[in-house]
Structure 1
């Protein structure tokens, strides 16, 4: 029977949480049931080649400028018509706006989006997208969409509390593509307690360098207290962003140049995590935190802030420690506690890996998403009597 055609639409494809989740989806989707296409509205980025390597068709429209809106709409309509898409799934705000608007106008049977940010994330968007938010366009598009997928319970409650109650909202926790991680990571994690006892300590943070959301400055302040106790401790800052220069300056002002390394964007995260002892996520806001899942799967204990969806994956005192945001002393104390007790750190790392394996893998996420696709398509076929529904078997 004919496969269900799904088009994922995203603005661009740099290294990031939403982009990596999309990569996880396309790598784990059942190709016997679904035919996937990825449409990138702007330039491709580092994730594009990985998508192509998986045998997925990738189409880049090459523009997100407002003055090119007509051209973008025309090309997207042509693509939808040519590919005969059954389901459109959008990611991030540009694709959520343009992708859903064009798909609704064209009449794509099922339209859904994954909400990757928090309810106030539109404040960082360009002016015309802020205007769209204020004019309730996104609320209208949400109501007209068949599915709004949230990545954590906290995020879902936040949106439903500040916007209209969405009957079409669904919760699917982020999943980690464990195929990216070699078995050597697990073996190397077993030696961490010995490494900690020798004071050869590597602390890491993996996040976009946007201090207002990710809180890296709090970790830099905490490092002063950590280094007073353990002078050989070092911090790896992985990622790039608008605050990189300011964070580098702060590190220098605090006298941490010899202890802090800024590594930029990396595509060898599994290997870097295998060499760390503790993963820290000092976020001010965080819908879930894919880097936390990566660290837990690698056998690392986690110290993170008690915000957003983080408590849904990090169990305080079992797989790591949760601390209030913007409190460097509390952050430092929890990190020092792990360094002081290597056996506890190793046990937390092992429990963290079990947590990911039992509920947060890419296979689990994608299977749940596939079931949702089929459910939404069945419902639309029943409600609207779409003639195309007889062309393929929905099982």
Structure 2
């Protein structure tokens, strides 16, 4: 992703944009990792001209997540009651990730159904703040701070839904891995998220900070999980078709070959005659 939106103040952001433009001028090629980022770099912030920018998606080793079985290990470690609905939040605990929205969503859900729980995999400067908030709001039995978790499969195999509440994102890896694992995703439609999720076909998206919209989708998903078969399959197929690492390797190889050919031809054309 980039840091031109919602990460820093206006002055610092402007400085970063000027630096990026200067670096682009001395670069042979600029690589972006999503269609949204390509649009930002070429049009919104005019970092470089379209001819100097390539879009190559992230490439991940997704094989360990293929056909990931559901496991109750995470639920047992949290001592969840039978019939609990476990939502997952994966990310740094910093303002841009907007954990507060996730907690507000949980509060709303608990007004109707006490079965909901939220596990938070991640750490950061806001952890103490949101732990205190959870205590003040009486949420401690339903909110589980796990800290950093090395094995993403440990989380994905145990949750019913992944929620993402960020105010901005590049290409969120947690969403890619959840979709590859056939875990339903409900996310704010920010940054590169709409490039990953086709709403109601491969997952669900809501406007930034729209607690009620996220509550509606979570309720819908948890009340009729058997209706999600086609959505999970479509999400899985989409991710494996675009984000496995061998696609990245092939496209990077093709880009370097093209740049090398163009550079060599340019040098030959401009070489002085003997």
Bin for the TM-score computed over the shorter chain: 0.7 to 0.9
Count, aligned residues = 256
Which position in structure 1 is the counterpart of 2:54?
170
Q: How does 1:179-194 map to 2 (within 5 A)?
A: 179-181=63-65, 183=67, 185=68, 187-188=69-70
Which position in structure 2 is the counterpart of 1:273?
156
Does residue 207 of structure 1 match 2:91? yes
3-state secondary structure, aligned to 2:249: helix
Q: How does 1:260-299 map to 2 (within 5 A)?
A: 260-299=143-182
Q: TM-score of the superposition, structure 1-length normalised?
A: 0.60
Residue among 227, 247, 250 paired with 1:344: 227
Cα 1:165/1:137, change in 2 over 3 Å: closer
Q: Which consecutive unaligned segments of at least 5 residues does structure 1 have?
A: 1-115, 190-197, 387-395
Deviation for aligned residue 1:290: 1.0
Does residue 119 of structure 1 match 2:1? no
Cα 1:315/1:287, change in 2 over 3 Å: same
Residue among 248, 253, 260 paired with 2:136: 253
3-state secondary structure, aligned to 1:188: coil
CA–CA distance in structure 2, aligned partners of residues 272 and 243 of structure 1: 21
CA–CA distance in structure 2, aligned partners of residues 268 and 229 of structure 1: 33
Which position in structure 2 is the counterpart of 1:159?
41
Structure scoring higher RCO (CA < 8 A, sep ≥ 6) equals 2
Which position in structure 2 is the counterpart of 1:148?
30
CA–CA distance in structure 1, aligned partners of residues 134 and 153 of structure 2: 25
Does residue 137 of structure 1 match 2:19? yes
Q: How does 1:355-394 map to 2 (within 5 A)?
A: 355-385=238-268
Check the 8 A contact 1:118/1:155 in 2, yes or no. no
3-state secondary structure, aligned to 2:107: helix
CA–CA distance in structure 2, aligned partners of residues 344 and 329 of structure 1: 22
Check the 8 A contact 1:239/1:263 in 2, yes or no. yes
Cα 1:131/1:345, change in 2 over 3 Å: closer
237-246 or 321-330, which deviates more:
237-246
CA–CA distance in structure 1, aligned partners of residues 45 and 163 of structure 2: 30
CA–CA distance in structure 1, aligned partners of residues 192 and 162 of structure 2: 17
CA–CA distance in structure 2, aligned partners of residues 226 and 122 of structure 1: 29
Deviation for aligned residue 1:158: 1.8
